[in-house]
Structure 1
């Protein structure tokens, strides 16, 4: 499938990249980061133009983020009545909403580029928890600009060394995500132990 998507980038260029980044923001498992690297490398070789590639990747990602936010907003609205029937679920829902409102912008920003695997879920949660739309949009666009600049820029810089850069980025992303999960679990265990004491 990856080979097919790379062929789409070479044949359809920026349009294919916009579609793929859009889908990746909705948790569709497509290799958007790899395709941005490849598109950057194609731009370096003169097969594609750099600015349309970057602009299309960014436009697709921004539209995907907005679609995910709206899906979360209406999806939670449809189930909130049922969730509130249980006092325990209602309490969790209220705490989640307060947390997103207090720290949601930084979570959105970091999940665009540093912890990008979490991005689609942060989109849904931000919409569902009614994070202020302006806060969401500003943080999402800022983060997506970094994501696109890093991947397209690295692909452009790497040129013929794309395979080595792809391996390195995969390792760094895996390490960052593992570290985030470890810190989150450690914090949850610490809070639980503190409550029990």
Structure 2
């Protein structure tokens, strides 16, 4: 199917195409929606048709966000951990995302659609934090309206330019496909490079849960930092002997601590990403002995349960 045929399909049933395209993208699938919105906006014949397209996009966006909200409400942080594990770059972890979400509140849902990655994890975080459903739906609808309205409105305002671009691309489909594949390859290469850098960055000595348990009963126990999100701490309870901290405010937490004391950082992130970042930051600040906990909070819970068994 060439671009002219695609334009014909969108023209014949634009509302359905927009609804399902936005629904699939907001559900987390790698399906771009903005090009479809631009095309649909350029093909709208009247302002009423444009408003119908905006309504379809808002409805699809809210349905997907509502589903993610309930997934977060039912399964809590297991959903978020799963989403982060699917990320090519695991350094963007749950606790850091949640901290920003808590700090910004409902307005974060309005701008979430414009922030890659955050638009997917914000709804389940809202559910895990038991945000009011009416407030969530209102903010999600406002965000969907702003995001889809801008794209559809741009297509409407620049309809002649959009159609000209489609005509040019249709005449040079092979070249356009080559450029698109090159851009996709460059993006994937950049993401893989970020992952490689993260792997190299995280190559520092860790401490195992067993070693931590033994050290906590020594004459000079290590100082333990819990980097989990505030919502997860409230849901699962604090870690005995640990001090809770946000990565962005780490200096305020450890300021009075002696620099020659062993410090252990713990998070609930894939590949201990948050704990590694905190350990690096503390070592750069002059603390001499900092180790991330291998396996994070889940490994600590398993080790604590094993110790309680007879």
> Same fold by TM-score, threshold 0.5 exceeded?
yes
Contact between 1:104 and 1:136, CA under 8 Å: does it hold in 2?
Answer: no
**C-alpha displacement of 1:156:** 0.4
Partner Cα distance (1:149, 1:106) in 2: 17
Structure with the largest fraction of strand: 2
The aligned length equals: 161
List gaps (5 residues or longer) in structure 1. Answer: 80-92, 165-187
Q: How far off its partner does 1:155 sit? A: 0.4
- The answer to whether structure 1 residue 133 and structure 2 residue 124 are counterparts is no
Task: Work out the CA distance in 1 between the residues paired with 2:6 and 2:68.
Answer: 22
Shift of 1:125: 1.6
What is the distance in 1 between the residues matched to 2:153 and 2:11? 17
- Specify the SS of the correspondent of 2:76: helix
TM-score by length of 2: 0.43
Q: Which has the higher helix share?
A: 1
CA distance in structure 1 between the aligned counterparts of 2:103 and 2:249, rounded to whole angstroms: 19
Q: CA deviation at 1:106?
A: 1.8
Conservation of the 8 A alpha-carbon contact between 2:72 and 2:124: yes
CA distances 1:40-72 after superposition (whole Å, capped 9, x unpaired): 01115x7x9323222211211111111121122
Which protein is bigger by CA-based radius of gyration?
2
Q: For residue 121 of structure 1, what is the aligned residue in structure 2?
A: 121
The secondary structure found in structure 1 opposite 2:105 is: helix
Q: How does 1:1-197 map to 2 (within 5 A)?
A: 8-43=9-44, 49-76=49-76, 100=101, 103-112=104-113, 114-115=114-115, 117-162=117-162, 163=165, 191-194=249-252, 195=254, 196=282
Q: Is the contact between residue 24 and residue 120 of structure 1 (CA under 8 Å) also seen in structure 2?
A: no
Task: List alignment gaps of at least 5 residues for structure 2.
Answer: 80-93, 167-245, 255-281, 286-310
Deviation, structure 1 residue 102: 5.7
Q: Mark the CA change 1:95 to 1:157 in structure 2 (over 3 Å): closer, same or farther.
A: closer
CA–CA separation in structure 2 for the residues paired with 1:73 and 1:16: 30
Q: Structure 1 residues 123, 142: closer, same or farther in 2, change over 3 A?
A: same
Change (3 A) 1:192 1:34: same
Secondary structure at 1:31 match in 2: coil
In structure 2, how many angstroms separate the alpha carbons of the residues matched to 1:30 and 1:77?
25
For the residue of structure 2 that corresponds to 1:49, the secondary structure is helix
